[in-house]
Amino acid sequence: MNCGVMNYSETSFAQSTTAPFLSLEAVRKTYPGVVALDGFSMEVRPGEVIGLVGENGAGKSTLMKILGGVTRPDSGSVTVDGVANDGLTVEASIGSGIAFVHQELNLFENLDVAANVFFGREPLKAGPLRLVDRARLREMVAPLLKRVGANFSADAPVASLSLAQQQMVEIAKALSIKARLVILDEPTSSLPIAETEKLLDVIKGLRAEGISVIFISHRLHEVERVADRVVVLRDGMLAGTLPKSEINHDQMVKLMIGRMLKEREKAAEAGRAPGGVALSASAVRTPAYPDHPVDLEIRRGEILGLAGLVGSGRTELARVLFGVDERLGGSVALDGKALDVGSAADAVANGIFLVPEDRKLTGILLDLSIAQNISLPNLPAHARRSLVSTSAELATAEKQKKDLGIKAPSVLTRTGTLSGGNQQKVVLAKWLAMNPKVMILDEPTRGIDIGAKAEIYGLMRSLADAGVAVLMISSDMEEVIGVSDRIAVMHEGQISGILDRDDFSQENVLLLAVGKKPKLVQAAGGAQ
């Protein structure tokens, strides 16, 4: 995609002199006991990127459902090309050129790219059999893939594509219906650094072609980079709008939560030196990279960030350290003593705990209550004569709910009804109740709003200050640099380097992630 068609000043001028093709006026939507949107208004002009931000529960999902025609507002109007309506149908939304790329991608992995882009709209060959014209289908898809900068063909199986490539397929699908507005819902939440950059370039390319984008993200530094305007939702209402010149992290946070948020604590400011080595891995070999040994040390009282590109082996290393996957070689030691972790139960018994990447799949049981989830890993401690004591279970849960600030009516609330941030706190709570020595957190703030992120960061720092060794795996560059005491970077299954705080920079992390040497402050006698 040619992203150089317009420079920013030309784009801004075009937006300022072009009438909006879509507007919402005083839109209100309520559910039993909840006001999801309250008098919300906004406009969308051709060729502008709108950053839509707000905490979980602010009303973003309801707004998207109204734009998609899935939900009708109780009052207010939706105007498209000067025609006001009291709401859209799904057909009217598609006909208006509104397309969605959801956080949970809607693709058929058993089909190829071309079949996914034109699913249900395939060109057919003449004749009674009405067979799909594969040659024509490829011809139709090829220019769409070129427009999004895809490096794969129309014949590529979707199952073989990375998440970023699959999102390109979704965007190509949107372009195939002549989209005028593409709504991207948390498109980078599961992407590593390099693939995030590709997607942000695609967004700039859409803008250059005059296609509008609504970019929904909790990663505020990405919103700051690509948005021409930021619209902030808080408690279902429009909290404010920021023009390009005023978009910055602090202003967005202030509008989102109604106050300035204390910046996450830096290790250098924590005023506490780390202790000795808590967990060490020596020549550890994982099933993903059996020929690439890993050496790593995590100290008591520190947060060690683990960065790297997708496929670098970060999660696989965590799974081996936690005993989920078999260690194919090497050794692991805890507090200087050799440790044989053959299962997750062995790890838990020794105080090594894992907060997994997919909390809903492997971190919690959504149908169980908060109390049941917290006590589940340690039922013997809550048992009386081999029977689980409800009172003991509730007492532990109440303490963790208070200590971690879990927002829920009670500890008997079903965990699946909680926000992403509160679900993550429940995952943490079940381990914190067991006095951890080593805490491994894999993408701890994925899909969590800014307020909940700050709370998670505070919990991590509290753990480190209490002497726990914390290993944080993250694809969020801002998070890795802002939270870590040291940063270890993986490349093709091995640790390519470790950065101390003086050497923290996005450039150094990226250099190590692709197997190159970083630019160190202490290099060449201290001169960079």
E strands present in 320-375:
329-334, 337-339, 352-355
Q: 130-183: per-residue pLDDT in tens? A: 787 788 888 888 888 888 778 888 889 998 887 778 888 888 888 888 889 999
**In the structure encoding, which two tokens stand for residue 98, read together?**
């509104």
pLDDT at 57: 72
Whether pLDDT at 329 is above 80: yes
Whether pLDDT at 379 is above 90: no
pLDDT at 259: 55
pLDDT at 4: 35
Whether pLDDT at 465 is above 80: yes
Per-domain residue ranges of the chain: 1-97+180-261, 108-178, 265-351+436-528, 365-435
CA–CA separation, 352 and 286 (whole Å): 18
pLDDT at 522: 61
pLDDT band at 250 (very low <50, low <70, confident <90, very high): confident
Residue recorded with tokens 């999902």: 61
Q: What is the bridge-based pairing of β-strands 212-216 and 181-185?
A: parallel
Q: What is the mean pLDDT of residues 441-461?
A: 81
With beta carbons less than 8 A apart as the criterion, state whether 506 and 476 touch. no
Q: What is the mean pLDDT of residues 271-293?
A: 87
**In the structure encoding, which two tokens stand for residue 397, read together?**
């849960």
Helix (H, G, I), strand (E, B) or coil at 427: helix
Q: 286-301: per-residue pLDDT in tens? A: 998 999 999 999 999 9
pLDDT at 396: 86
Q: 224-245: per-residue pLDDT in tens? A: 999 999 999 988 899 999 999 9
CA–CA separation, 436 and 352 (whole Å): 6
Q: What is the mean pLDDT of residues 42-63?
A: 89
Q: 344-362: per-residue pLDDT in tens? A: 889 988 999 988 877 777 6
- 33's CB contacts (< 8 A; 6+ apart) are none
**In the structure encoding, which two tokens stand for residue 235, read together?**
């408690």
Q: Which amino acid is at 335?
A: D
Q: Which amino acid is at 391?
A: S
**In the structure encoding, which two tokens stand for residue 259, read together?**
């106050």
With beta carbons less than 8 A apart as the criterion, state whether 50 and 228 touch. yes
- To the question of domain 1-97+180-261 being in CATH 3.40.50.1100, the answer is no
Assign domain 265-351+436-528 to its CATH superfamily. Answer: P-loop containing nucleotide triphosphate hydrolases (3.40.50.300)
DSSP state for residue 324 in the 8-state scheme: S
CA–CA separation, 492 and 330 (whole Å): 18
pLDDT band at 518 (very low <50, low <70, confident <90, very high): confident
Q: Please name which of 112, 109, 133 lies closest in space to residue 121, comparing C-alpha atoms.
A: 133
Whether pLDDT at 509 is above 60: yes
Cβ neighbours around 333 below 10 Å, total: 15
Helices (H), 307-449: 314-321, 344-349, 370-375, 390-404, 420-432
CA–CA separation, 229 and 79 (whole Å): 20
Q: Please name which of 183, 181, 199 lies closest in space to residue 191, comparing C-alpha atoms.
A: 199
pLDDT band at 7 (very low <50, low <70, confident <90, very high): very low
pLDDT at 129: 72
Q: Do domains 1-97+180-261 and 265-351+436-528 have the same CATH topology?
A: yes
CA–CA separation, 466 and 355 (whole Å): 18
Whether pLDDT at 264 is above 50: no
Helices (H), 209-285: 220-226, 249-257, 267-270
Does residue 17 or residue 323 have the better pLDDT? 323
